[in-house]
Amino acid sequence: MSSDNKTSGATTVPDTKPPSPATQAGAISRWLAERLLDACGRAPLRITLWDGTQVPAQLAAPVATMRVNTRAALTRLLIHPDLYFGEDFMAGAIDVDGDLVKFLEAVYTGGEQADAVGPLRRAAQNLMSRRRSNSLSGSRSNIHHHYDIGNDFYQLWLDRVAMQYTCAYFAHPEATLEEAQVAKMDHVCRKLRLKPGEFVIEAGCGWGGLARHMARHYGVRVRAFNISREQVRFARERAAQEGLDNQIEYIEDDYRNISGSCDCFVSVGMLEHVGPENYREMGDVLQRILPQHGRGLIHTIGRNCSAPMNAWIEKRIFPGARPPSLREMMDIFEHHDFSVLDVENLRLHYAETLRHWLARFEAHQDEIHGMFDERFIRTWRLYLAGSIASFTTGYLQLFQVLFAPGKNNDVPMTRDHLYSVSNHS
């Protein structure tokens, strides 16, 4: 585990000292709190200010109550809610009493229905939020920030089969997280119609679980790329333990440096970190490595239309991240005559995946308190709950895009094969 976890980002923590009892909220603060509720489309939420003032004064059954513990936090919320709600929640200057996910869903849904000033303010805010660069060195730094904070931590709440830190596939509502992650890997492998002996290049392999699954159950050889040092170390150890290291090569390098030729390309949960400015170059890589009979699949968080990532998530959780719209994704495919064969939107599966993760995260509070400080825990709680709300309210999508070179006629006529009985034991 890296030693800088407890202090990461601490330089810009907002003022968190408890308010003086003498500091009365007053008419202006109440008026500002009302404007905040306006900006949330008058969703049935209660705001409690630092002196106990409740806004609105009467509300029968609020979805949840947001406690704003300082005057400064209230002001910041009105200036740039996307960023400062997270900053102040993280620091304890804002709390939510009640169900955090339901609170965020109400805010997201209400906010979109609110006044027309919204888009203008949002545009101004987006100008203020400069996304971190995804140059070769920028990407390395961005990925280190999130994925190298400790394999022990992730093992506490990800599935125990393959440590998949991406959307699972709940083929049945009662599936466990472990079953759903296996089903996701099989869904991907079946879409690609992997055949024994084929060679697969994977970009952004996480802890290597999909590569091991493909090697073990589909008999393919895999070369898997990742720029997270901690993840690659873990993946190599695990492959060696499982006797799969003769089939899998984990490489600590950037997708832009992929060379050679393969039968299939797969990337699950990396494109979010690539940035649309690099999609064309990614297409160039695919053009280099995929022969006419090749197939590819990209699994990524996406958007209904082009828009920056939530500012706080980009700042604190995923620096450099930008989920693409389908329009933006086409920049990968259309310059080299790739055919898009199948797009599936699994948005609600990600909400369900995140519910499992959040429940396990909460269930392991004791261990996590031994690893990180309260600020870290509040940050992650908000990130996981906010992500659930993002998928349930349609703020985020999850696209699986299957593609092939335009001249590849060896593509299945139907998708029946995805829905027949499992084809591996």
Q: Which is nearer to a copy of itself, 57 or 421 (CB)?
A: 421
Token output for 20:
């003086």
Q: How near is the Cβ of 341 to a copy of itself at its closest, in Å?
A: 5
CA angle 236, 320, 362 (to 5 degrees): 65
343 binds a copy of itself (CB under 8 A): yes
174 binds a copy of itself (CB under 8 A): no
- Provide the mask over 380-399, with x wherever binding to a copy of itself is found by CB under 8 A and - wherever it is not: ------------xxx--x-x
The amino acid sitting at 286 is: L
Q: How near is the Cβ of 171 to a copy of itself at its closest, in Å?
A: 6
* The one among 80, 131, 347, 375 contacting a copy of itself by CB under 8 A: 347
* The one among 340, 355, 377, 378 contacting a copy of itself by CB under 8 A: 340
* The one among 327, 359, 363, 373 contacting a copy of itself by CB under 8 A: 327
* The one among 21, 61, 259, 416 contacting a copy of itself by CB under 8 A: 416
238: phi then psi, degrees, rounded to nearest 5: -65, -40
User: How do beta strands 264-268 and 295-302 pair?
Assistant: parallel
| Run of H or E including 105 | helix 100-113
Q: According to CB under 8 A, which residues from 261 to 320 bind a copy of itself?
A: 304-306
Q: Which is nearer to a copy of itself, 99 or 337 (CB)?
A: 337
Q: Which is nearer to a copy of itself, 228 or 390 (CB)?
A: 390
Beta bridge partners of 303: 325
Kindly state the greatest CA–CA separation across the chain. 76
419 binds a copy of itself (CB under 8 A): yes
Closest by CA position to 385, among listed 184, 90, 114, 7:
90
- What is the total count of residues that contact a copy of itself (CB under 8 A)? 43
b/e 198-208 (16+ beta carbons within 10 angstroms → b): bebbbbbbbbb
HSE on the CB side for 335, CA within 13 Å? 14
Please list, in sequence order, all residues whose beta carbon lies within 8 angstroms of the beta carbon of residue 419, skipping any fewer than 6 positions away. none
- Provide the mask over 131-170, with x wherever binding to a copy of itself is found by CB under 8 A and - wherever it is not: --------------------------------------xx
Considering Cα of 279, then 284, then 287, then 289, what sign does the dihedral take?
negative
Span of 12-20, 29-37, 341-349, 369-377 interacting with a copy of itself by CB under 8 A: 341-349
191 binds a copy of itself (CB under 8 A): no
C-alpha distances (whole Å) from 368 to each of 4, 243, 377, 381 are 16, 31, 8, 12
Q: Which is nearer to a copy of itself, 226 or 393 (CB)?
A: 393
d(Cα 210, Cα 223) in Å, to the nearest integer? 11
406 binds a copy of itself (CB under 8 A): yes
- Only one residue has tokens 């873990």, namely 234
Where on the chain is the footprint of a copy of itself (CB under 8 A)?
Answer: 109, 169-171, 173, 304-306, 325-327, 330, 333-335, 337-345, 347-349, 392-394, 397, 399, 406-409, 411, 413-416, 418-419
